[in-house]
Amino acid sequence: MIITESKPFEEVLEILEGSDSIFIVGCGECATECQTGGEYEVEEMTNNLREAGKTVTGSVVPNATCEVLDTARLLRQQKEEVQAADAILVLACGAGVQAVAEKCDTLVLPGCNSLFLGDTLRHGQMFEWCSMCGACVLDKYVGVCPVTRCPKGQLNGPCGGADEGMCEVDTERECVWTLIYERLEKLGLDKERIAQTLEPPKDYQIQAQPRERIFEVRRTG
Ligand code: SF4
Ligand code: SF4
């Protein structure tokens, strides 16, 4: 899931400066889970904007705002409300904002900051465990990613700064190599092998942006 945080309301007002009437778009997936763009947050934003003297012409919460064509379809269903707005405020990740902008001639503005791809441990506890490097090497690290979970991305670690198993960069956090070795032990695997293997640097060229994946659709759903 894409993890977002709400922009402070004062910042939202600055972003909306010059726009008196607003249409709000939320997101029924990630932003709902992050409590940044679900039905509740859209209603809250509507009330806050009205209190601040803005006109809210309407709102919609698509299932997943990054689904460009479906979001466009929903916006067409509220064409009048959208056209009555000076700007569309999107309470979703940057992909959601751009999905709306792709299909709308109205000014489209962000109400959230997009933070990272996150694993959810439980409600309200989200962690970055994968940074989508494009060439997964989790097979070499028993399912624990040093690319992402080590602040230095140490593929051949630990770096030497670990203190009693904790990371020198963030002393509140276990060194990812502690996690890797603990897991090797738990699985009864050879710890020496990983210590003796030298992993070559990753090819960061494959992360050159913007990335795309276009493929032949074999089935839908
Ligand atoms: S190696 Fe790490 S960053 Fe790369 S795809 Fe796998 S989990 Fe994600
Ligand atoms: S202590 Fe461990 S997690 Fe922290 S920077 Fe060094 S190798 Fe990475």
Q: Each residue of 83-134: pLDDT tens digit?
A: 999 999 999 999 999 999 999 999 999 999 999 999 999 999 999 999 999 9
Query: H/E/C letters for each residue in the chain?
Result: CEEEEECCHHHHHHHCCCCCEEEEECCCCHHHHCCCCCHHHHHHHHHHHHHCCCEEEEEECCCCCCCHHHHHHHHHHCHHHHHCCCEEEECCCHHHHHHHHHHCCCEEEECEEEEEECEEEECCEEECCCCCCCCCCHHHHCCCCHHHHCCCCCCCCCCCCCECCECCCCCCCECHHHHHHHHHHHCCCCHHHHHHCCCCCCCHHHHCCCCCCCCCCCCCC
- The residue nearest atom 8 of ligand 1, judged by CA position, is 130
Q: Which ligand is nearest to the CA of 136?
A: 1
User: For a substitution probing ligand 1, which of 116, 129, 138, 179 has the most ligand atoms within 8 Å of its CB?
Assistant: 138
What per-residue confidence (pLDDT) applies to 193?
A: 86
Task: Indicate the pTM of the whole model.
Answer: 0.95
Mean pLDDT over 35-59 rounds to 98
Of 89 and 204, the one with more pLDDT? 89
What per-residue confidence (pLDDT) applies to 14?
A: 98
- % of the chain exceeding 70 in pLDDT: 100
Q: Is pLDDT at 210 greater than 90 in this prediction?
A: yes
Pocket of ligand 1 (CB under 6 A): 130-133, 136-138, 145, 147-148
What per-residue confidence (pLDDT) applies to 219?
A: 87
Rounded CA separation 219/134 (Å)? 24
Domain ranges of the chain: 2-117, 132-207
Across the chain, mean pLDDT equals 96
Instruction: Quote the distance between the C-alpha of residue 204 and its chain's center.
Output: 20
Superfamily of domain 2-117: Diphthamide synthesis DPH1/DPH2 domain 3 (3.40.50.11860)
